[in-house]
Protein backbone atom coordinates (compact mmCIF):
# COMPACT_ATOMS: atom_id res chain seq x y z
CA UNK A 1 0.00 0.00 0.00
CA UNK A 2 2.84 2.38 -0.70
CA UNK A 3 1.65 4.17 -3.81
CA UNK A 4 -1.13 6.72 -4.01
CA UNK A 5 -3.04 4.44 -6.35
CA UNK A 6 -2.90 1.42 -4.05
CA UNK A 7 -3.88 3.54 -1.05
CA UNK A 8 -6.81 4.94 -3.00
CA UNK A 9 -7.89 1.40 -3.91
CA UNK A 10 -7.56 0.39 -0.26
CA UNK A 11 -9.97 3.13 0.85
CA UNK A 12 -12.35 2.29 -2.00
CA UNK A 13 -12.41 -1.37 -1.03
CA UNK A 14 -12.94 -0.43 2.62
CA UNK A 15 -15.99 1.63 1.67
CA UNK A 16 -17.46 -1.07 -0.57
CA UNK A 17 -16.88 -3.75 2.05
CA UNK A 18 -18.05 -1.48 4.85
CA UNK A 19 -21.37 -0.80 3.16
CA UNK A 20 -22.39 -4.15 4.64
CA UNK A 21 -22.56 -2.22 7.93
CA UNK A 22 -24.83 0.40 6.35
CA UNK A 23 -27.15 -2.28 5.06
CA UNK A 24 -27.11 -4.17 8.38
CA UNK A 25 -27.92 -1.12 10.49
CA UNK A 26 -30.32 0.26 7.89
CA UNK A 27 -32.40 -2.91 7.92
CA UNK A 28 -32.52 -2.91 11.74
CA UNK A 29 -33.63 0.70 12.04
CA UNK A 30 -36.09 0.47 9.13
CA UNK A 31 -37.77 -2.31 11.06
CA UNK A 32 -37.81 -0.20 14.21
CA UNK A 33 -39.58 2.60 12.30
CA UNK A 34 -42.15 0.20 10.86
CA UNK A 35 -42.64 -1.72 14.11
CA UNK A 36 -45.38 0.49 15.54
CA UNK A 37 -47.28 0.46 12.23
CA UNK A 38 -46.96 -3.29 11.86
CA UNK A 39 -48.27 -3.70 15.40
CA UNK A 40 -51.35 -1.65 14.57
CA UNK A 41 -51.98 -3.08 11.09
CA UNK A 42 -51.60 -6.75 12.05
CA UNK A 43 -52.68 -6.49 15.69
CA UNK A 44 -49.33 -7.76 16.92
CA UNK A 45 -48.90 -8.66 20.58
CA UNK A 46 -45.86 -7.58 22.60
CA UNK A 47 -44.63 -11.18 22.38
CA UNK A 48 -44.83 -11.11 18.57
CA UNK A 49 -43.01 -7.77 18.50
CA UNK A 50 -40.29 -9.43 20.57
CA UNK A 51 -40.27 -12.33 18.12
CA UNK A 52 -39.61 -9.97 15.20
CA UNK A 53 -36.77 -8.39 17.16
CA UNK A 54 -35.35 -11.78 18.08
CA UNK A 55 -35.25 -13.21 14.57
CA UNK A 56 -34.52 -9.99 12.70
CA UNK A 57 -31.27 -8.80 11.18
CA UNK A 58 -30.66 -7.41 14.64
CA UNK A 59 -30.27 -10.78 16.29
CA UNK A 60 -30.58 -14.55 15.75
CA UNK A 61 -30.73 -14.83 11.96
CA UNK A 62 -27.72 -12.51 11.59
CA UNK A 63 -25.84 -14.61 14.13
CA UNK A 64 -26.53 -17.83 12.25
CA UNK A 65 -25.54 -16.17 8.97
CA UNK A 66 -22.26 -14.94 10.47
CA UNK A 67 -21.42 -18.39 11.82
CA UNK A 68 -21.95 -20.05 8.43
CA UNK A 69 -20.47 -17.18 6.43
CA UNK A 70 -17.32 -17.02 8.53
CA UNK A 71 -16.42 -20.65 7.87
CA UNK A 72 -17.15 -20.26 4.15
CA UNK A 73 -15.03 -17.08 3.98
CA UNK A 74 -11.96 -18.86 5.30
CA UNK A 75 -12.54 -21.83 3.03
CA UNK A 76 -13.46 -20.14 -0.27
CA UNK A 77 -12.31 -16.55 0.14
CA UNK A 78 -13.77 -13.25 1.24
CA UNK A 79 -14.78 -12.05 -2.21
CA UNK A 80 -17.07 -14.94 -3.13
CA UNK A 81 -19.14 -14.45 0.02
CA UNK A 82 -19.44 -10.67 0.11
CA UNK A 83 -20.16 -10.41 -3.60
CA UNK A 84 -23.13 -12.77 -3.79
CA UNK A 85 -24.77 -12.55 -0.38
CA UNK A 86 -26.22 -9.17 -1.36
CA UNK A 87 -28.45 -10.92 -3.91
CA UNK A 88 -29.82 -13.06 -1.09
CA UNK A 89 -30.33 -9.91 0.98
CA UNK A 90 -32.35 -8.24 -1.78
CA UNK A 91 -34.52 -11.35 -2.10
CA UNK A 92 -35.29 -11.28 1.62
CA UNK A 93 -36.12 -7.57 1.44
CA UNK A 94 -38.91 -8.33 -1.04
CA UNK A 95 -40.90 -10.02 1.75
CA UNK A 96 -40.66 -6.86 3.88
CA UNK A 97 -41.45 -4.53 0.98
CA UNK A 98 -44.56 -6.46 -0.04
CA UNK A 99 -45.53 -7.76 3.41
CA UNK A 100 -49.25 -8.51 3.64
CA UNK A 101 -49.22 -10.96 6.57
CA UNK A 102 -47.34 -11.49 9.82
CA UNK A 103 -45.43 -14.52 8.58
CA UNK A 104 -43.87 -12.44 5.78
CA UNK A 105 -42.30 -10.13 8.37
CA UNK A 106 -40.63 -13.03 10.15
CA UNK A 107 -39.49 -14.79 6.97
CA UNK A 108 -38.22 -11.56 5.40
CA UNK A 109 -36.13 -10.69 8.42
CA UNK A 110 -34.74 -14.20 8.72
CA UNK A 111 -33.50 -14.08 5.12
CA UNK A 112 -32.17 -10.54 5.47
CA UNK A 113 -30.45 -11.44 8.73
CA UNK A 114 -28.75 -14.50 7.23
CA UNK A 115 -27.38 -12.34 4.41
CA UNK A 116 -26.05 -9.47 6.52
CA UNK A 117 -24.66 -11.94 9.04
CA UNK A 118 -22.67 -13.76 6.36
CA UNK A 119 -21.38 -10.46 5.02
CA UNK A 120 -19.98 -9.19 8.33
CA UNK A 121 -16.99 -11.60 8.73
CA UNK A 122 -16.26 -11.35 5.01
CA UNK A 123 -16.18 -7.57 4.91
CA UNK A 124 -14.50 -7.05 8.29
CA UNK A 125 -11.75 -9.56 7.45
CA UNK A 126 -11.15 -7.95 4.08
CA UNK A 127 -10.94 -4.46 5.60
CA UNK A 128 -8.38 -5.53 8.19
CA UNK A 129 -6.30 -7.57 5.74
CA UNK A 130 -6.10 -4.88 3.06
CA UNK A 131 -5.65 -1.87 5.34
CA UNK A 132 -2.14 -0.41 5.94
CA UNK A 133 -0.72 -1.59 9.26
CA UNK A 134 -0.69 1.88 10.79
CA UNK A 135 -4.20 2.75 9.57
CA UNK A 136 -6.12 -0.41 10.44
CA UNK A 137 -8.12 1.42 13.10
CA UNK A 138 -8.92 4.24 10.69
CA UNK A 139 -10.15 1.79 8.05
CA UNK A 140 -12.24 -0.06 10.61
CA UNK A 141 -13.63 3.32 11.62
CA UNK A 142 -14.88 3.93 8.08
CA UNK A 143 -16.94 0.75 8.29
CA UNK A 144 -18.33 1.89 11.65
CA UNK A 145 -19.22 5.31 10.20
CA UNK A 146 -21.19 3.53 7.51
CA UNK A 147 -22.95 1.49 10.20
CA UNK A 148 -24.03 4.75 11.86
CA UNK A 149 -24.87 6.39 8.53
CA UNK A 150 -27.48 3.70 7.82
CA UNK A 151 -29.70 4.69 10.76
CA UNK A 152 -29.19 8.43 10.14
CA UNK A 153 -30.28 8.11 6.51
CA UNK A 154 -33.21 5.83 7.37
CA UNK A 155 -34.46 7.88 10.33
CA UNK A 156 -34.23 11.24 8.54
CA UNK A 157 -36.03 9.78 5.52
CA UNK A 158 -38.61 8.22 7.85
CA UNK A 159 -39.42 11.66 9.27
CA UNK A 160 -40.72 12.65 5.83
CA UNK A 161 -42.16 9.25 4.86
CA UNK A 162 -44.10 8.34 7.99
CA UNK A 163 -47.01 10.72 7.23
CA UNK A 164 -47.73 8.45 4.24
CA UNK A 165 -48.14 5.45 6.51
CA UNK A 166 -46.77 2.01 5.76
CA UNK A 167 -46.73 2.79 2.01
CA UNK A 168 -44.20 5.53 2.68
CA UNK A 169 -42.11 3.47 5.10
CA UNK A 170 -41.80 0.70 2.49
CA UNK A 171 -39.44 3.01 0.56
CA UNK A 172 -36.91 2.56 3.36
CA UNK A 173 -36.77 -1.15 2.57
CA UNK A 174 -36.79 -0.48 -1.19
CA UNK A 175 -33.69 1.71 -1.03
CA UNK A 176 -31.82 -1.00 0.90
CA UNK A 177 -32.76 -3.64 -1.67
CA UNK A 178 -31.60 -1.40 -4.54
CA UNK A 179 -28.31 -0.67 -2.76
CA UNK A 180 -27.74 -4.40 -2.21
CA UNK A 181 -28.17 -5.06 -5.93
CA UNK A 182 -25.80 -2.20 -6.80
CA UNK A 183 -23.21 -3.56 -4.36
CA UNK A 184 -23.32 -6.92 -6.10
CA UNK A 185 -21.98 -5.29 -9.27
CA UNK A 186 -19.60 -2.81 -7.61
CA UNK A 187 -17.94 -5.51 -5.52
CA UNK A 188 -17.27 -7.67 -8.56
CA UNK A 189 -14.28 -5.44 -9.36
CA UNK A 190 -12.73 -5.74 -5.93
CA UNK A 191 -9.59 -7.79 -5.40
CA UNK A 192 -9.39 -10.76 -3.06
CA UNK A 193 -7.41 -10.40 0.16
CA UNK A 194 -3.72 -11.02 -0.57
CA UNK A 195 -3.20 -12.36 2.93
CA UNK A 196 -5.96 -14.96 2.44
CA UNK A 197 -4.50 -15.94 -0.97
CA UNK A 198 -1.10 -16.51 0.66
CA UNK A 199 -2.69 -18.77 3.28
CA UNK A 200 -4.60 -20.66 0.58
CA UNK A 201 -1.39 -21.17 -1.42
CA UNK A 202 0.36 -22.49 1.68
CA UNK A 203 -2.49 -24.92 2.27
CA UNK A 204 -2.36 -26.18 -1.30
CA UNK A 205 1.40 -26.61 -1.04
CA UNK A 206 0.96 -28.65 2.12
CA UNK A 207 2.93 -26.15 4.22
CA UNK A 208 0.06 -25.58 6.67
CA UNK A 209 -3.01 -27.50 7.75
CA UNK A 210 -4.84 -24.87 9.82
CA UNK A 211 -8.64 -24.96 9.59
CA UNK A 212 -11.61 -23.90 11.70
CA UNK A 213 -10.78 -26.49 14.37
CA UNK A 214 -7.79 -24.35 15.34
CA UNK A 215 -10.32 -21.99 16.91
CA UNK A 216 -10.80 -24.62 19.63
CA UNK A 217 -7.25 -24.11 20.91
CA UNK A 218 -7.21 -22.51 24.39
CA UNK A 219 -5.45 -19.31 23.24
CA UNK A 220 -8.10 -18.66 20.59
CA UNK A 221 -11.02 -19.79 22.73
CA UNK A 222 -9.88 -17.28 25.34
CA UNK A 223 -9.92 -14.47 22.77
CA UNK A 224 -13.30 -15.63 21.49
CA UNK A 225 -14.76 -15.65 25.00
CA UNK A 226 -13.32 -12.21 25.71
CA UNK A 227 -14.76 -10.64 22.56
CA UNK A 228 -18.16 -12.32 22.88
CA UNK A 229 -18.59 -11.32 26.52
CA UNK A 230 -17.27 -7.75 26.18
CA UNK A 231 -19.21 -6.96 23.03
CA UNK A 232 -22.14 -9.25 23.79
CA UNK A 233 -23.04 -7.52 27.05
CA UNK A 234 -22.70 -4.10 25.41
CA UNK A 235 -24.78 -5.26 22.46
CA UNK A 236 -27.71 -6.15 24.72
CA UNK A 237 -27.98 -2.42 25.27
CA UNK A 238 -27.23 -1.55 21.63
CA UNK A 239 -29.89 -3.95 20.35
CA UNK A 240 -32.48 -2.35 22.60
CA UNK A 241 -31.30 1.10 21.50
CA UNK A 242 -31.26 0.44 17.76
CA UNK A 243 -34.42 -1.63 17.37
CA UNK A 244 -36.70 -0.56 20.21
CA UNK A 245 -36.02 3.16 20.88
CA UNK A 246 -38.50 4.55 18.30
CA UNK A 247 -41.04 2.00 19.53
CA UNK A 248 -40.51 3.07 23.17
CA UNK A 249 -40.80 6.76 22.24
CA UNK A 250 -44.12 5.99 20.58
CA UNK A 251 -45.36 3.89 23.50
CA UNK A 252 -44.41 6.65 25.99
CA UNK A 253 -46.31 9.25 23.93
CA UNK A 254 -43.40 11.64 23.41
CA UNK A 255 -43.76 14.24 20.61
CA UNK A 256 -44.03 12.64 17.16
CA UNK A 257 -40.86 14.26 15.82
CA UNK A 258 -38.76 12.57 18.50
CA UNK A 259 -39.57 9.11 17.18
CA UNK A 260 -37.16 9.50 14.27
CA UNK A 261 -35.03 12.59 14.91
CA UNK A 262 -33.88 11.74 18.45
CA UNK A 263 -32.49 8.30 17.47
CA UNK A 264 -31.02 9.89 14.32
CA UNK A 265 -29.26 12.36 16.59
CA UNK A 266 -27.61 9.51 18.49
CA UNK A 267 -26.17 7.99 15.32
CA UNK A 268 -25.18 11.39 13.90
CA UNK A 269 -23.24 12.24 17.08
CA UNK A 270 -21.72 8.76 16.92
CA UNK A 271 -20.38 9.41 13.41
CA UNK A 272 -18.66 12.60 14.60
CA UNK A 273 -17.14 10.66 17.49
CA UNK A 274 -15.92 7.86 15.23
CA UNK A 275 -14.21 10.30 12.87
CA UNK A 276 -12.91 12.72 15.49
CA UNK A 277 -11.79 10.21 18.11
CA UNK A 278 -11.63 6.57 16.96
CA UNK A 279 -10.25 7.06 13.43
CA UNK A 280 -7.72 9.65 14.57
CA UNK A 281 -6.53 8.05 17.81
CA UNK A 282 -7.01 4.26 17.74
CA UNK A 283 -3.84 3.72 15.66
CA UNK A 284 -1.76 6.00 17.88
CA UNK A 285 -2.78 5.97 21.56
CA UNK A 286 -3.44 3.32 24.21
CA UNK A 287 -6.58 1.51 23.05
CA UNK A 288 -7.37 0.33 26.58
CA UNK A 289 -7.57 3.97 27.74
CA UNK A 290 -9.98 4.89 24.94
CA UNK A 291 -12.16 1.90 25.66
CA UNK A 292 -12.23 2.65 29.40
CA UNK A 293 -13.37 6.26 28.91
CA UNK A 294 -16.12 5.11 26.57
CA UNK A 295 -17.29 2.39 28.99
CA UNK A 296 -17.57 4.86 31.88
CA UNK A 297 -19.61 7.25 29.74
CA UNK A 298 -21.95 4.43 28.70
CA UNK A 299 -22.69 3.44 32.30
CA UNK A 300 -23.33 7.05 33.33
CA UNK A 301 -25.57 7.72 30.32
CA UNK A 302 -27.73 4.65 30.88
CA UNK A 303 -27.96 5.27 34.63
CA UNK A 304 -29.58 8.62 33.87
CA UNK A 305 -32.54 6.85 32.25
CA UNK A 306 -32.72 4.37 35.12
CA UNK A 307 -32.84 7.13 37.74
CA UNK A 308 -34.96 9.79 36.04
CA UNK A 309 -37.12 7.72 33.67
CA UNK A 310 -38.03 7.91 29.98
CA UNK A 311 -38.62 11.67 29.83
CA UNK A 312 -37.81 13.76 26.76
CA UNK A 313 -35.13 15.96 28.33
CA UNK A 314 -33.44 12.93 29.93
CA UNK A 315 -33.64 10.93 26.70
CA UNK A 316 -31.91 13.77 24.81
CA UNK A 317 -29.08 14.05 27.36
CA UNK A 318 -28.77 10.25 27.31
CA UNK A 319 -28.56 10.21 23.51
CA UNK A 320 -25.77 12.82 23.44
CA UNK A 321 -23.64 10.99 26.02
CA UNK A 322 -24.19 7.56 24.45
CA UNK A 323 -23.54 8.87 20.94
CA UNK A 324 -20.15 10.29 21.88
CA UNK A 325 -19.21 7.17 23.86
CA UNK A 326 -20.44 4.77 21.19
CA UNK A 327 -18.17 6.20 18.52
CA UNK A 328 -14.98 4.96 20.19
CA UNK A 329 -16.42 2.17 22.30
CA UNK A 330 -17.21 -1.52 22.27
CA UNK A 331 -18.48 -1.95 18.72
CA UNK A 332 -15.61 -0.10 17.03
CA UNK A 333 -13.04 -2.01 19.04
CA UNK A 334 -14.88 -5.31 18.57
CA UNK A 335 -14.48 -5.00 14.80
CA UNK A 336 -10.82 -4.07 15.14
CA UNK A 337 -9.82 -6.60 17.81
CA UNK A 338 -11.78 -9.49 16.29
CA UNK A 339 -9.53 -9.17 13.25
CA UNK A 340 -6.30 -8.74 15.22
CA UNK A 341 -6.65 -11.54 17.76
CA UNK A 342 -6.83 -14.40 15.21
CA UNK A 343 -4.61 -15.55 12.32
CA UNK A 344 -5.73 -15.16 8.71
CA UNK A 345 -6.59 -18.85 8.32
CA UNK A 346 -9.39 -18.66 10.91
CA UNK A 347 -10.01 -14.90 11.12
CA UNK A 348 -13.43 -14.88 9.45
CA UNK A 349 -14.48 -18.05 11.27
CA UNK A 350 -13.59 -16.45 14.60
CA UNK A 351 -15.37 -13.22 13.73
CA UNK A 352 -18.41 -15.14 12.59
CA UNK A 353 -18.47 -17.28 15.74
CA UNK A 354 -18.12 -14.33 18.11
CA UNK A 355 -20.69 -12.31 16.16
CA UNK A 356 -23.06 -15.28 16.24
CA UNK A 357 -22.80 -15.65 20.02
CA UNK A 358 -23.50 -11.94 20.42
CA UNK A 359 -26.45 -11.72 18.05
CA UNK A 360 -28.11 -14.95 19.18
CA UNK A 361 -27.80 -13.80 22.78
CA UNK A 362 -29.39 -10.51 21.76
CA UNK A 363 -32.20 -12.42 20.07
CA UNK A 364 -33.06 -14.26 23.27
CA UNK A 365 -32.91 -10.99 25.24
CA UNK A 366 -35.12 -9.22 22.65
CA UNK A 367 -37.98 -11.58 23.45
CA UNK A 368 -38.23 -9.98 26.89
CA UNK A 369 -37.63 -6.31 26.04
CA UNK A 370 -41.11 -5.18 24.85
CA UNK A 371 -42.99 -6.60 27.83
CA UNK A 372 -40.35 -5.47 30.32
CA UNK A 373 -40.28 -1.97 28.86
CA UNK A 374 -44.06 -1.75 29.09
CA UNK A 375 -44.41 -3.12 32.63
CA UNK A 376 -41.27 -1.84 34.38
CA UNK A 377 -38.97 0.43 32.36
CA UNK A 378 -36.93 1.37 35.42
CA UNK A 379 -36.00 -2.28 35.96
CA UNK A 380 -35.09 -2.64 32.27
CA UNK A 381 -32.89 0.47 32.45
CA UNK A 382 -31.03 -0.79 35.54
CA UNK A 383 -30.50 -4.19 33.93
CA UNK A 384 -29.04 -2.48 30.85
CA UNK A 385 -26.84 -0.32 33.07
CA UNK A 386 -25.54 -3.50 34.68
CA UNK A 387 -24.82 -5.03 31.26
CA UNK A 388 -22.80 -1.96 30.27
CA UNK A 389 -20.87 -1.96 33.55
CA UNK A 390 -19.97 -5.64 33.13
CA UNK A 391 -18.96 -5.11 29.50
CA UNK A 392 -16.75 -2.18 30.50
CA UNK A 393 -15.06 -4.12 33.29
CA UNK A 394 -14.31 -7.13 31.07
CA UNK A 395 -13.07 -4.92 28.24
CA UNK A 396 -10.89 -2.76 30.46
CA UNK A 397 -9.19 -5.70 32.20
CA UNK A 398 -8.36 -7.76 29.10
CA UNK A 399 -8.27 -5.16 26.31
CA UNK A 400 -5.23 -5.41 24.03
CA UNK A 401 -3.30 -2.43 22.66
CA UNK A 402 -2.26 -3.39 19.15
CA UNK A 403 -1.89 0.04 17.58
CA UNK A 404 0.71 0.29 14.82
CA UNK A 405 1.47 -3.45 14.62
CA UNK A 406 1.05 -5.58 11.50
CA UNK A 407 -1.23 -8.62 11.51
CA UNK A 408 1.83 -10.81 10.96
CA UNK A 409 3.59 -9.24 13.97
CA UNK A 410 0.56 -9.84 16.15
CA UNK A 411 0.36 -13.43 14.96
CA UNK A 412 4.04 -13.98 15.76
CA UNK A 413 3.55 -12.56 19.25
CA UNK A 414 0.82 -15.12 19.85
CA UNK A 415 3.30 -17.84 19.01
Residue 8 falls inside a structural domain = no
Domain that holds residue 363: 14-413
* Closest residue by Cα to residue 340 from 290, 402, 278: 402
Single out the residue of 156, 90, 62, 19 nearest to residue 98, CA to CA.
90
Per-residue H/E/C for 155-200: HHHHHHHHHHCHHHHHHHHHHHHHHHHHHHHHHHHCCCCHHHHHHH
Burial, 185: exposed, middle or buried (Cβ in 10 Å; 0-12, 13-18, 19+)? exposed
pLDDT at 70: 93
The answer as to whether 205 is a domain residue is yes
Q: What is the mean pLDDT of residues 385-406?
A: 92
**Which distant-in-sequence residues (6+ apart) come within 8 Å of 363 by Cβ?**
53, 54, 55, 58, 59, 60, 63
Res. 219 pLDDT band, cuts 50 70 90? confident
Q: How confident is the model at residue 3 (pLDDT cuts 50, 70, 90)?
A: very low
User: Is the pLDDT confidence value at 208 over 70?
Assistant: no
What pLDDT is recorded for position 303? Answer: 97
- Whether 3 is covered by a domain: the verdict is no
CA distance 93 to 102: 15
Domain count, the chain: 1
The Cα–Cα gap between 170 and 98 comes to 8
The answer to whether the Cα torsion of 119, 122, 126, 129 is positive or negative is: positive
CATH number assigned to the domain comprising residue 329: 1.20.1250.20
Inside any domain, residue 58: yes
What whole-number distance in Å separates Cα of residue 64 and Cα of residue 356? 6
Q: Give the pLDDT mean for 104-109.
A: 92
pLDDT, tens only, 35-90: 889 988 989 888 888 888 787 777 889 999 999 999 999 999 888 887 788 999 99
1 has a pLDDT exceeding 60: no
Asked if the structure places residue 164 within a domain, the reply is yes
Helix (H) or strand (E) holding 351: helix 347-366
Residue 215: phi and psi, rounded to 5, are -65, -20
φ, ψ of residue 58 in degrees (nearest 5): -75, -15
Q: What is the pLDDT of residues 109-122, one digit of tens each?
A: 899 999 999 999 99
DSSP 276: I
Which candidate, 42, 39, 46, 30, places its Cα nearest to that of 368? 46
Give the three-class secondary structure for 2. Answer: coil
Task: Give a yes or no: residue 276 inside a domain.
Answer: yes
What is the overall mean pLDDT for the chain? 89
Tell me how far apart the alpha carbons of residues 93 and 118 are, in angstroms, rounded to a whole number: 16
Asked if pLDDT for residue 4 goes beyond 60, the answer is no
Torsion angle (degrees, nearest 10) of CA 302, 51, 87, 124: 30
Give 376 or 268, the one with higher predicted confidence: 268
Q: Is residue 7 part of a domain?
A: no
Residue 207 pLDDT class (50, 70, 90 cuts)? low
Quote the CA–CA distance of 5 and 217 in Å, as a whole number.
40
Does residue 329 register a pLDDT over 50?
yes
Is residue 127 assigned to a domain?
yes
Burial of 255 (0-12, 13-18, 19+ CB in 10 A): exposed
Cα–Cα separations (whole angstroms), residue 391 to 158, 218, 229, 312: 32, 22, 7, 27
Q: What's the confidence (pLDDT) of residue 368?
A: 84
Question: What is the CB neighbour count within 10 angstroms for residue 280?
Answer: 15
Q: What is the pLDDT of residue 315?
A: 93
271 vs 377, higher pLDDT: 271
Between CA 235 and CA 239 the distance in angstroms is 6
Winning range, highest mean pLDDT, from 6-10, 144-148, 198-202: 144-148
Q: According to the model, what pLDDT value does residue 209 have?
A: 57
Q: How confident is residue 259, by pLDDT bands cut at 50, 70 and 90?
A: confident
Q: Give me the pLDDT at residue 366, please.
A: 81
pLDDT at 2 over 50: no
Amino acid sequence: MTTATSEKESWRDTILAGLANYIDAGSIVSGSVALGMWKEIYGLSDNFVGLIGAFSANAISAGVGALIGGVLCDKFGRKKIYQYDMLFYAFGMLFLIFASAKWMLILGYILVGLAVGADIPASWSLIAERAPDKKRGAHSGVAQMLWYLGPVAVLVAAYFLKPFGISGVRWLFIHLAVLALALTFLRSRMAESERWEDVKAAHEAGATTTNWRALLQPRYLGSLFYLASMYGLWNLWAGYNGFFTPYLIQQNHLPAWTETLVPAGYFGIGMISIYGIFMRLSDKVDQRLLFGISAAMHVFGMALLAIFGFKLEIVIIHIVIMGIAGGFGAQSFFQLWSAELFPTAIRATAQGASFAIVRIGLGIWSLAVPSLAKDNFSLLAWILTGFLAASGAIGLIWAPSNQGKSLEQLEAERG
